[in-house]
């Protein structure tokens, strides 16, 4: 099978993908119908009303963040998805019946949009984290890319169908079709081979699990950078259902059919980007930054197109770059997050990525009314380019600082090793790795001041969370020792809670104050000396030959 579709070799993922493509098509049909209903039937071409409707769908992701991620990590994700998908279908059915019977009012659409947002707030983190249970970490980048391809294949098909149905029958039947499409996802979840799933360890109950997720992200500068990028672009740049509706209606004076075609044309680029992303084995932060800048350029160019046809063609690179950004960011976050934390981290990711829409959509609607529809797209493009420039500057500065610190540590290590070899001539110096690492952790917790050990102690004692960071600390130092033992070569990746789930840079896992304190204590601890005959002769006061490389 082609590497582009390698995740489809797994039966459970194949079943899931077959239902998802149907549901995604229905979801995009409803989005087009809902925006057109609000814009042309329930308001007088009000961009603000469309923005409020969109914002209400995404506000719960931000407001319910302390709950949704913990639920995704604590509950069975497959059963949780069965509940959320069924609820989404019921809400779509209710809206369709209101429209067909002529009873729909603007406030009712607002209420139903808000309820759909509540359901989506629980559905999103569980659905994102459930992918790794179906395929495992080895196929995760490919599965994330194929999920995006499925989503945007629905985006390619759905808006065009919705535009034709709205033109022929109105918006009501579109909502009913979407309600029926959720049956495909429910059927796929029920057909899965549960025994072949790879469930992640479940987190404990209580508010401490939420605080642990926040603390985990605070100790990961790489995750913070990605969240900042997707937050800015998601808030001001990825509001296409609003911006393309305003461009079609206010600038080019087009109807629902032409509006739906714009979404389908953009999906051509998005689908291409998803399939390209599916071939990548491991994305990088550089790809995220590059895609952000490319999106900013493409959106700014699209905003200046003089005709409907030119604007439609310009949306293809917009779709390609935005999809590359989304899949690279999503896969990078999931691959570098411990399985027991993945639900909470993805909840934060979804809240920041889509939770900015309640702010961005009404604001862009106001910008469209005051300055013209073109500025709703151009402003998002300019913000995207500025965000990419700031992110690149910060990344280069941080990388240079790390290189300078590493050079200083290497020089100090060489001096320490030379001193130990000069004083220890005639003896073979060895370090009992397991004893020193474990004793170092205990001594560090007992001797360091409370302020220095707080990042570790607050998760173990005060907040009653699993002892994940203590275990990770031991693994980090062991990996660093192994790297130092090979002529200070690079340390091996750290194995986290399940085999194969690796974090490329183990320093991102922990608060640097804890790791630095353990480095100095390990360096100052006397090594174990053995005579050439192998008899234990006790500890010596001289420094060890091997220093933990930070």
Q: How many angstroms from the chain centroid is the CA of residue 385?
A: 20
How many angstroms separate the CA atoms of 39 and 538, rounded? 81
* Residue 330 φ/ψ, nearest 5 degrees: -60, -50
What whole-number distance in Å separates Cα of residue 435 and Cα of residue 321?
51
Is 212 inside a domain boundary?
A: yes
pLDDT at 419: 57
CA distance 390 to 387: 5
Q: Are residues 384 and 452 in the same domain?
A: no
Mean pLDDT value across residues 54-68: 78
In a domain, 544, yes or no: no
Q: How far apart are CA 418 and CA 542, in angstroms?
A: 12
506 is a domain residue: yes
Q: Above 50 in pLDDT, residue 436?
A: no
Q: Which residue has the higher pLDDT, 450 or 72?
A: 72
The domain of 154 spans 3-197+207-395
480: Cβ contacts below 8 Å, ≥ 6 apart: 491, 506, 548, 549, 550
Check residues 318 and 156 and name the one with the higher pLDDT. 318
Q: Is 408 domain-assigned?
A: no
Q: Which of 373, 395, 417 is the last residue of a domain?
A: 395
Based on the fold, state whether residues 387 and 455 are members of the same structural domain.
Answer: no
Residues 220 and 307 in one domain: yes
The last residue of a domain, from among 372, 395, 418? 395
Same domain, 365 and 453: no
For 206-238, what is each residue's pLDDT tens digit?
A: 555 667 777 888 888 888 999 999 889 988 888
Same domain, 91 and 240: yes
How far is residue 204's CA from residue 122's CA, in Å, rounded to a whole number? 18
Looking at the structure, tell me whether residues 483 and 359 fall in a common domain.
Answer: no
- Measured CA to CA, the distance from residue 81 to residue 236 in angstroms comes to 29
Same domain, residue pair 110 and 236: yes
| Total domain count, the chain | 2
Q: Where are the alpha helices (DSSP H) in 448-505?
A: 450-457, 468-485
Q: What span, in angstroms and rounded, lies between the C-alpha atoms of 289 and 279?
A: 19
* Cα distance between the two ends of the chain: 42
Residue 385 and residue 247 share a domain: yes
Q: What is the mean pLDDT of the chain?
A: 74
Distance CA 540, CA 528 (A): 7
- Rounded to an integer, what distance in angstroms lies between the CA atom of residue 14 and that of residue 20? 10
Share of the chain above pLDDT 90, in %: 21
Query: 474 in helix, strand or coil?
Result: helix
- The SS3 assignment for 530 reads strand
The answer to whether residue 423 sits within a structural domain is no
State if pTM tops 0.75.
no
* Final residue before a domain boundary, out of 395, 414, 438: 395
| Residue 304, CB-side half-sphere exposure with 13 Å CA sphere | 6
Band (307; pLDDT cuts 50, 70, 90): very high
CA-to-CA distance for 16 and 2, rounded, in angstroms? 19
Give yes or no: residues 230 and 327 share one domain: yes
Residue 487 shares a structural domain with residue 372: no
| CA separation for the pair 250, 7 (Å, rounded) | 43
pLDDT given for residue 303 in this prediction: 92
How far is it, in rounded angstroms, from Cα 360 to Cα 380? Answer: 10
406 is a domain residue: no
Residues 441 and 530 both lie in one domain: yes
Q: What strand order describes the sheet that includes 428-430? A: 428-430, 528-530, 536-539
Q: Give burial (CB, 10 Å; 0-12/13-18/19+) of 1.
A: exposed
Cα–Cα distance between 296 and 3 in angstroms, integer? 30
Furthest-apart CA atoms within the chain: distance in Å: 95
Q: Would you place residue 305 in the very low, low, confident or very high pLDDT band (cuts 50, 70, 90)?
A: very high
pLDDT (tens digit per residue) in 5-18: 888 889 999 999 98
What one-character DSSP code corresponds to residue 237?
T
| Mean pLDDT for the stretch of residues 351-380 | 82
Residue 546 lies in a domain: no
Q: Which of 538, 483, 531 is nearest to 507 (CA)?
A: 483
d(CA 226, CA 236) in angstroms, rounded, equals: 16
Answer yes or no: do 389 and 434 share one domain: no
- Do the domain assignments include residue 407? no
Does the pLDDT of residue 544 top 50, yes or no? no
Please state the separation of Cα 267 from the chain's center in Å. 21
């Amino acid at each position: 099978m082609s590497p582009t579709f390698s995740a489809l070799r797994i039966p459970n993922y194949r079943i899931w993908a077959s239902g998802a493509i149907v549901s995604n098509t229905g979801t995009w049909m409803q989005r087009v119908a809902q925006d057109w209903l609000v814009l042309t039937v329930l308001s007088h071409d009000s961009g603000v009303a469309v923005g409020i409707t969109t914002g209400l769908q995404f506000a719960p992701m931000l407001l319910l963040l302390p709950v949704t991620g913990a639920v995704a990590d604590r509950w069975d994700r497959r059963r949780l998805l069965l509940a959320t998908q069924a609820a989404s279908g019921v809400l779509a059915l209710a809206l369709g019946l209101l429209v067909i019977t002529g009873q729909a009012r603007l406030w009712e659409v607002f209420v139903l949009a808000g309820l759909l947002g509540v359901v989506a707030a629980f559905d999103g983190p569980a659905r994102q984290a459930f992918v790794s249970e179906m395929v495992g970490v080895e196929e995760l980048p490919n599965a994330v890319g194929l999920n995006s391809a499925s989503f945007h294949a629905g985006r390619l098909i759905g808006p065009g169908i919705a535009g034709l149905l709205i033109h022929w029958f109105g918006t009501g039947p579109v909502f009913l079709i979407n309600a029926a499409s959720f049956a495909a996802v429910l059927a796929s979840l029920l057909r899965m081979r549960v025994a072949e799933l790879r469930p992640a360890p479940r987190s404990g109950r209580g508010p401490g699990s939420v605080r642990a997720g926040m603390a985990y992200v605070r100790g990961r500068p790489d995750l913070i950078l990605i969240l900042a990028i997707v937050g800015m672009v998601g808030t001001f740049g990825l509001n296409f259902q609003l911006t393309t509706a305003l461009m079609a209606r206010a600038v080019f004076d087009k109807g629902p059919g032409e509006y739906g075609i714009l979404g389908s044309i953009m999906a051509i680029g998005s689908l291409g980007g998803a399939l390209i992303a599916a071939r990548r084995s491991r994305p990088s932060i550089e790809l995220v930054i590059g895609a952000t800048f490319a999106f900013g350029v493409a959106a700014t160019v699209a905003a200046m197109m003089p005709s409907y046809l030119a604007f439609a063609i310009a949306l293809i690179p917009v779709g390609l770059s935005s999809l590359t950004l989304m899949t690279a960011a999503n896969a990078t976050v999931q691959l570098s997050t411990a399985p027991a934390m993945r639900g909470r981290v993805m909840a934060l990711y979804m809240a920041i990525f889509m939770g900015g829409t309640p702010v961005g959509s009404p604001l862009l609607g106001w910008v469209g009314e005051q300055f013209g529809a073109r500025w709703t797209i151009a402003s998002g493009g300019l913000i995207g380019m500025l965000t990419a420039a700031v992110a690149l500057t910060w990344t280069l500065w941080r990388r240079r600082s790390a290189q300078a610190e590493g050079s200083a540590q290497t020089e100090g290590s060489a001096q320490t090793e030379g001193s130990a070899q000069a004083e220890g001539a005639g003896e073979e110096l060895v370090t009992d790795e397991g004893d020193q690492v474990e004793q170092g952790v205990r001594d560090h917790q007992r001797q360091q001041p409370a302020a220095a050990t707080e990042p570790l102690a607050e998760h173990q004692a005060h907040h009653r969370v699993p002892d994940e960071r203590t275990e990770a600390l031991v693994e980090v130092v062991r990996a660093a020792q192994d790297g130092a033992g090979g002529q200070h070569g690079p340390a091996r990746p750290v194995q986290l809670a399940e085999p194969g789930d690796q974090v490329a840079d183990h320093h991102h896992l922990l608060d640097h104050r804890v790791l630095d304190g353990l480095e100095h204590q390990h360096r100052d601890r006397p090594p174990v000396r053995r005579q050439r005959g192998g008899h234990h002769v006790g500890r010596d006061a001289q420094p060890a030959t091997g220093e933990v490389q930070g």
